[in-house]
Structure 1
């Protein structure tokens, strides 16, 4: 049976555990998560183990990145299964604070970002989101003081926002983006996929197939506006309520007019039933 990782829940315990990990000048990689771990998270852990001598995984369902109408209360929480997966992956330490440890009474500080956080993608539909993300991730970086931190590319705008924040605030952590892990039919792995009904799950890979087709058409010289319009129509015809389907510069997230403005990345967000899915691919 794999050895379970050390679990710490308070800041003093975290500091002591990190001191032990660093005793031999170990390099530390942090994988921030909200739990409900799947193969995408484990891909981050495997990359972390290749790049650092010690791996810390945080599990914290962050209330400040959920709007009142969103799914904070029902967000999947699968502690026993998560711990079994992290033991199998040979993670060294799990940082699992409660809300009062992260946001004690009187907490009044927030990290506010511009740049990629105001690109008109997720921020247009979830204006609260990046303030919550940058604040909690900034705290995690300060608490754990990792040499590097790994994030999945599925949350592509979030990856760019976190990288900008870490650089702007001189936090001394290298941000690594790890490619999306997909199901066999192309659906990007997500903790929220468990919400999909059988019928919705069958339709969900439409987002990926539309983006693949759009990327191929753009490479062949098709006009970007037509590619986006056709893709949006296909997504909506499949039963989705579309928030956005856009082509952006892969580094700055600024709008592009053609493949010549690249590198180009297609990004999509859409709801099917009550479940909101996001995805992206490079061209």
Structure 2
């Protein structure tokens, strides 16, 4: 495994692989790697000749008070996992490499897909995501980039700006990897207390109840949301940020469930924010 800490170094190494006609796969991460990340890396290794992983805790996607300083950083164990998977390049830039002291550019995606849900709760978040992913795509120039479905809105936004800006990369969005009790794997799960970790799968359980109602014929999204909310409010520790039933392409809330939908939500457990989603196929 080659470790690159500068843009110039990683570009030079990648150019050597590209001259040999190698297909480059890329998995961007913020570290604290779990099985969800590792599934993306394994998919890249299976599909591509060369797999590159970046670890960079991106400050621009955290608003004030969102815990940038508290975000779990486990670089030593991350490197061990990546060595075991035999990735080709680990890109480890610092903030100065990625932004310097005079960065003034933003990459903005407008419309409902970025201004709703996470966009309402975390107004600056997607601006930071689109900027860092654009920069990483420009640096790495991957043939294929791998993302997880857990961050469904983020993946949809990345798809949109890749399409709009004619960036030459194939995007692969892979299914959510879950713990044995259904909790979506997330780097933030390690911040939960033992008691709150036991409660955390409740959002997924509520979504399953809502999905069952849809499959049983319920077409009123307000009725389905009531089912999910009723499950969540059983736990006084849970603070609901949002729960919605949306069109999986436009990310607009549906008025009637007459096609496939995405149940999506975010909750707080002792100030730890967890997100999840569940795709419901009407057929």
**TM-score normalised to structure 1 length:** 0.96
- Separation of aligned partners in 2, 1:121 and 1:282: 16
- Say whether residues 1:185 and 2:181 are aligned partners: yes
- The alignment partner of 2:123 has SS state of coil
2:69 is the counterpart of 1:49: no
| Cα distance in 2 for residues equivalent to 1:159 and 1:232 | 25
Moved more, 131-140 or 242-251: 242-251
- State whether residues 29 and 52 of structure 1, in contact with CA within 8 Å, keep that contact through their aligned partners in structure 2: yes
Matched with 1:243 is 241
Deviation by residue 1:220-262 (Cα, 9 ceiling, x = unmatched): 11232111012113212213110111111112211112331x3
Residue 218 (structure 1) aligned with residue 214 (structure 2)? yes
Aligned to 1:228: 225
Q: For 1:134 and 1:263, locate their aligned partners in 2 and report how far apart those are by CA, in whole Å.
A: 27
Match of residue 73 from structure 1: 69
Q: Equivalences for 1:146-185 in 2 at 5 Å?
A: 146-185=142-181
Output the aligned Cα RMSD. 1.1
1:98 match: 94
Structure 1 counterpart of 2:130 = 134
Preserved contact between residue 30 and residue 146 of structure 1 (Cα < 8 Å): yes
Residue 274 of structure 1 deviates from its aligned partner by 1.5
TM-score when scaled to structure 2?
0.96
Offset of residue 219 of structure 1: 1.1
- Runs of 4+ more than 4 Å apart: none
Q: 2:250 aligns with which of 249, 252, 256?
A: 252
Q: Report the 3-state secondary structure (helix = DSSP H, G, I; strand = E; otherwise coil) of the residue aligned with 1:118.
A: helix
Which residue does the alignment assign to 2:5? 9
Deviation at 1:86, TM superposition (A): 0.6
| Structure 2 segments unaligned to the other structure (5+ residues) | none
2:113–2:250 contact (8 Å) kept in structure 1: no
Separation in structure 2 between the aligned mates of residue 224 and residue 126 of structure 1, nearest angstrom: 24
1:51 is displaced (CA, Å) by 1.6
The equivalent residue for 1:120 is 116
| Structure 1 residues 255 and 119: alpha-carbon distance in aligned structure 2, compared to 1, 3 A threshold | farther
Q: How many residues align?
A: 278
Deviates more, 1:228-237 or 1:172-181: 228-237
1:50-109 Cα deviation digits (max 9, x unpaired) = 221111001000000001101110111111100111111111101110000000111111
> How far apart, in 1, do the equivalents of 2:140 and 2:203 lie?
36
* Structure-1 separation of matches of 2:141 and 2:229: 42
- Per the alignment, residue 205 of structure 1 pairs with 201
Tell me if the contact between 1:116 and 1:160 (Cα under 8 Å) persists in the aligned partners: no
The offset of 1:118, in angstroms, is 2.9
State the distance in 2 between where 1:6 and 1:181 align.
Answer: 27
Match of 1:274 in 2: 271
How far 1:15 moved relative to its partner? Answer: 1.3
Shift of 1:115: 3.3
Conserved in 1, the CA contact under 8 Å of 2:209 and 2:227? Answer: no
Range with greater deviation from structure 2 (115-124 or 72-81): 115-124
